[in-house]
Amino acid sequence: MTHRLKAKVKKILPQDVSLDLSEWDSVLKKSSNPSVYHLQSSVAYYIEYFNGENSSFVLYENKKAIGVFPLLAYQNNEKWILSANGSYILEPLFIDGVSKKTKKRLEKSLKVFINKLSKFLGVTENKFSISFKGMTSWYYLWLENAQEESINHHLSVDLRKNLSEIRLQFRKSYKPLVNKALKEWDISICTSDLNKDFEAFRMLHLEVSGKETRSRESWDIQLQNIINGKAFLVTAKDNDLLIGGGLFSYTKFMGIYGVGAYKRELFDKPIGHGVQMKAIEFLKEKGCQWYEIGRRHYLVDRVKPTKKELSISHFKEGFAMHTFVKPHCTVNVE
């Protein structure tokens, strides 16, 4: 199917669109608000994670690269799914200064492309959501024909504020816990011994999960992202023994919390509080504007969350300054 898929993508690509991704990063540099999901490294990670096929491309106007569109196709129970991150199709990212007229024209051509590709793969419905920057003409374009719409709540920290203002917004009980964590354990950004510490973090994640949740290659991609300055690892150590840590990804605009792992016997300790504080400090140093901690689950969510998901999101909420509502819609293939 791989060769047939690539051939089909090339055949139905809109005009002024290229599968040559060599100018992808130049587009991100000229955009003031790239999300983590628009990074090539993120696309590579999700392709490996879901064993998918890369159908991403660069958009051009008058032979100038002005946008990128992350897209992967993968199979789940023998059914093909199109998405940017395994869940939803996101909007294309444009460089600053592109007119609304140009955006809408290109977005309409992408809509035709997605519907054609969906029919070829036998996809009956697609799911769309928005990135951190809010409602877009791209989302409204699909909402017009949506069969249903629902919302998720996402927690974030405004990194444009100074650290004292950010700490004031923490849950009252968290402030002494953050201080305790930073005092009792060595919590730092991993720079030296990166390979050793990253492998220790991977093994800790395996220990806590009780099984391999994804391929070694996906971990290798994340390690390379750290080396390339697209991600970072916060480690928490007790006498040089790794007891917890968190992996984060970021762009010049935003950072996101990826995955954490902590010794089970220390779950009642505030190690994670120190890890979050250290991540916030690092992202501010890098000039990021926002830090998206993750979803806030509620019992009324369309997909009922587990007790674990509710517990984790309650923990994250203690650091948040804002809760953003992200809509997503399901659209039947025309």
Report residue 91 as tokens.
Answer: 């909007």
Per-residue pLDDT of the chain (334 residues; tens, 9 = 90+): 577 888 889 899 888 899 999 999 999 999 999 999 999 999 999 999 999 999 999 999 999 999 999 999 999 999 999 999 999 999 999 999 999 999 999 999 999 999 999 999 999 999 999 877 778 899 999 999 999 999 999 999 999 999 999 999 999 999 999 999 999 999 999 988 899 999 999 999 999 998 888 999 999 999 999 999 999 999 999 999 999 999 999 999 999 999 999 998 998 999 999 999 999 999 999 999 999 999 999 999 988 999 999 999 999 999 999 999 999 999 999 7
Query: What's this model's pTM, rounded to 2 decimal places?
Result: 0.93
Could you tell me the residue ranges of all domains in the chain? Answer: 2-144, 154-325
CATH number, span 2-144: 3.40.630
- Spatial separation of the C-alpha atoms in residues 136 and 129, rounded to whole Å: 10
Among 135, 153, 132, 158, residue whose Cα is nearest residue 34: 132
Q: Which tokens sit at 228? A: 């390339």
Check if CATH label 3.40.50.2000 holds for domain 154-325: no
> Measured between alpha carbons, how far is 272 from 268 in angstroms, rounded to an integer?
10
Per DSSP, helices labelled H in 228-292 are: 271-285
Same fold, 2-144 and 154-325: yes
